[in-house]
């Protein structure tokens, strides 16, 4: 866990996410790279579209803004303990957000992408718009979404919402490595609908799964907890109401519970997630990322 990539659009939620990432990096002894993607502004003339400013000049302007942003972040986050401050650098590149992040990710090979999440009027919004969901769906790196209102107070409990399948193993290995740095607990929550047989043996299956994970990871602070509820939605609401959770995590698959959180009218119902960071493992993570 040595490299963290932090996309920014210079918004307040993006700055909040970068502060959270710096606090994590202090514990992880990780290096941060803050990234901004830009598109050249153009003007329309009779002969076609022409850039208002050339790439090099705009790179210089954005580079200056990134430099000021990094210095401010370090002053805010490290003034009381400069010796423990992580290394933070920055990059900017021309192109669509997703393409730039994929390009720089390929160059620096980050272990984690940290992005901002804002809640306005009861709605959950990614700071970088639809690009953020594309980063999750098309990327192969875990993405930690930091709500604008979230403040780092250490990481004592990480919850993973899963179904005890082989696909959950790789994300849990990652989470156990992350938790070991913070000496935190990993709790695997399995939402089970009440209409299913309460005596189906799920507790025994869950305990056996966790026992295997302890052996595989060598990390003992991991446990299983079934969440019996009327349906998946109510199970998620129950999780959102728990105040002792520092990070909620899950593997994103099409039509799974992440879509329930960030789609349509259900988004308002899950606005409470804007108080807890959400760590998402993209679909390709289990196939591509070692």
* 18 Rama sector, left if φ>0, alpha if ψ -120 to 50, beta otherwise: alpha
CATH number, domain of 88, equals 3.40.50.620
Q: Which pLDDT belongs to residue 136? A: 78
Rounded to whole angstroms, the Cα distance separating 290 from 286 reads: 8
Same domain? 140 vs 20: yes
For every residue of 154-177, DSSP letters joined together read ---EEEEE--S-GGGHHHHHHHHH
Same domain? 140 vs 169: no
Same domain? 163 vs 280: yes
Q: Which residues of the chain have pLDDT under 50?
A: 119-128, 264-272, 289-290
Q: Which pLDDT belongs to residue 164? A: 84
Is residue 47 one of the residues assigned to a domain? no
Same domain? 140 vs 198: no
Same domain? 29 vs 98: yes
Same domain? 108 vs 136: yes
How confident is the model over 139-182, as pLDDT tens digits?
789 999 888 878 899 999 999 988 888 889 999 999 999 999 99
Rounded to whole angstroms, the Cα distance separating 89 from 75 reads: 14
Same domain? 111 vs 161: no
Last residue of a domain, one of 147, 171, 189: 147
Same domain? 143 vs 162: no
Q: Which pLDDT belongs to residue 130? A: 57
Q: Which pLDDT belongs to residue 105? A: 92
Is residue 83 one of the residues assigned to a domain? yes
Residues 6+ apart with CB under 8 A from 148: 12, 13, 16, 116, 117, 118, 119, 274
């Amino acid at each position: 866990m040595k490299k963290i990539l932090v996309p920014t659009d210079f918004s307040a939620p993006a700055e909040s996410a970068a502060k959270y990432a710096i606090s994590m990096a202090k514990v992880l002894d990780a290096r941060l790279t803050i990234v901004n993607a830009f598109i050249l502004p153009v003007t329309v003339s009779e002969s076609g579209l022409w850039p208002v400013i050339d790439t090099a000049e705009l790179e210089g302007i954005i580079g200056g803004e990134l430099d000021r942003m990094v210095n401010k972040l370090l002053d805010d986050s490290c003034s009381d303990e400069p010796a423990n401050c992580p290394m933070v650098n920055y990059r900017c590149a021309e192109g669509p957000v997703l393409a730039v992040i994929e390009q720089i990710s390929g160059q620096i090979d980050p272990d984690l992408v940290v992005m901002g999440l804002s809640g306005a009027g009861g709605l959950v919004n990614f700071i970088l718009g639809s690009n953020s969901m594309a980063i999750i769906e098309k990327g192969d790196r875990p993405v930690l979404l930091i709500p604008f209102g979230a403040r780092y107070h250490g990481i004592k409990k990480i919850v993973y919402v899963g179904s005890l399948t082989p696909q959950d193993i790789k994300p849990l290995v990652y989470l156990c490595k992350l938790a070991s740095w913070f000496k935190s607990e990993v709790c695997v929550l399995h939402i089970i609908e009440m209409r299913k047989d309460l005596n189906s043996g799920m507790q025994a299956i869950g305990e056996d799964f966790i026992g295997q994970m302890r052996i595989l990871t060598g990390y003992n602070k991991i446990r299983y907890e079934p969440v019996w509820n009327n349906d998946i939605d109510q199970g998620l609401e129950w999780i959102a109401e728990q105040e002792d959770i520092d990070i909620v995590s899950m593997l994103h698959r099409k039509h799974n519970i992440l879509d329930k959180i960030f789609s349509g009218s259900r988004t308002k119902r899950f606005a409470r997630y804007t108080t807890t960071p959400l760590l998402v493992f993209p679909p390709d993570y289990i196939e591509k990322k070692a």
